[in-house]
């Protein structure tokens, strides 16, 4: 998944996550990452994005 994520291949990343969630349905981070990737599908990050998500608030 990390390679697809790093290359901004959001559909491939989502497919890998879906497969992962099937195998590990109680993993707490998979839904968080899936939501983030869904956001990237809707509004891709800028060209300068380095793959790190920074949070500005709690």
What pTM was estimated for this model as a whole?
A: 0.79
Q: Give yes or no for residue 53 having a pLDDT over 90.
A: no
Look up residue 45 and give its two tokens.
């990050």
Where exactly are the structural domains of the chain? 2-42
Tokens 């491939």 belong to 12
Q: How confident is the model at residue 2 (pLDDT cuts 50, 70, 90)?
A: confident
**Cα–Cα distance, 3 to 16 (Å, whole number):** 11
Q: What does the buried/exposed string (b/e) look like for 17-42 if buried means 16 or more CB atoms within 10 Å of the residue's CB?
A: beebeeeeeeeeebeebbeebeebee
Q: What is the pLDDT of residue 56?
A: 79
pLDDT digits (tens, 9 = 90+) for 3-41: 998 899 999 999 999 999 999 999 999 999 999 999 999
Q: What is the pLDDT of residue 49?
A: 86
Instruction: Give the model's pLDDT for residue 37.
Output: 93
Number of neighbours of residue 12 by Cβ within 10 angstroms: 15
What 8-state DSSP symbol labels residue 25? Answer: T
């Amino acid at each position: 998944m990390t390679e697809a994520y790093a290359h901004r291949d959001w559909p491939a990343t989502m497919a890998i996550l879906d497969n992962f969630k099937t195998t590990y349905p109680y993993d707490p981070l998979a839904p968080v990452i899936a939501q983030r990737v869904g956001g990237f599908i809707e509004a891709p990050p800028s060209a300068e994005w380095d793959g790190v998500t920074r949070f500005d608030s709690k």
